[in-house]
Amino acid sequence: MTDNEYRKMYDKDPCKAQTALFDEYLSYVYAIVYNKLRSCGSREDIEECVEDVFSAVFISYDRSTCFNGDLKGFIGTIANRTAVQMYRKLVRHSDTIYIDNENTDIADDERIDESAERRVLKTTLLKLIKSLGEPDSDIIIQKYYYNLNSGEIAQKHSMSPATVRMRCSRALKKLKELLAAEGFDIEEGNI
């Protein structure tokens, strides 16, 4: 959608213009926000950030200036900046520990070696998932880290749910092989 198209639509019906802009650029904005926040944000954080992006777009759009270009760059810039702000906010608050009671004992029954092994497995697993390439790595992350179902993932990737399930199955088999090559002995179903 160009600036002129949006301006004409806005003059006729502002609500309809905003809905059209939202519908056209939702997946674009979601992709930008998701790529910035997927390592630290929950699904709700990502959706909240997308909402903030469109609020900022509607508030900061200046109808008095005129250019004939596409709005994609304008919206992309706002999406990127808003996602970076949300990322900083989430990361800043993620390491905060609240202790309600001074008498709270920290449990020390967890074995350090087991914790270290889990941390190494987690790091290796994320590295191997990224090595699968797009869209397989994205499908695995959305399914197992964000608990999205095949239908939701299919909508985001313009695929059918059956295709998502097939790609996920193949990616899991490949991931199991990669883990075995790295020296991890993972039983079926525990990936």
Residue 58 CA: distances (Å) to CA of 33, 34, 47: 17, 21, 17
Spatial CB neighbours of 81, under 8 Å, sequence gap ≥ 6? none
Question: What value, to the nearest 5°, has the Cα angle with vertex 27 and ends 26 and 33?
Answer: 90
pLDDT recorded at residue 63:
62
The domain made up of 3-94 is a member of CATH 1.10.1740.10: yes
Q: Residue length, the chain?
A: 191
pLDDT recorded at residue 113:
63
Range of weakest confidence among 28-32, 79-83, 152-156: 152-156
Pick the CATH number of 112-181 from 3.40.1440.60, 1.10.10.10, 3.40.50.300, 3.10.180.10: 1.10.10.10
pLDDT recorded at residue 81:
92
CATH 1.10.10.10 domain locations along the chain: 112-181
Could you tell me which residues are beta bridge partners of residue 2? 70
Total-model pTM: 0.47
pLDDT recorded at residue 48:
92
The pLDDT tens digits of the residues spanning 115-140 come to 677 777 778 878 888 888 888 888 88
The answer to whether 45 and 90 are in contact (CB under 8 A) is yes
CATH 1.10.1740.10 domain locations along the chain: 3-94
The answer to whether 143 and 111 are in contact (CB under 8 A) is no
The pLDDT tens digits of the residues spanning 162-176 come to 888 888 888 888 888
The pLDDT tens digits of the residues spanning 86-115 come to 888 888 765 544 434 444 444 445 566 666
Per-residue DSSP letter, 2: B
pLDDT recorded at residue 175:
82
pLDDT recorded at residue 182:
78
Residue range 6-24: mean pLDDT, rounded: 85
Q: How far apart are the two ends of the chain, measured CA to CA in Å?
A: 43
pLDDT recorded at residue 31:
92
Measured over the CA atoms of residue 35, residue 37, residue 42 and residue 47, the dihedral's sign is negative
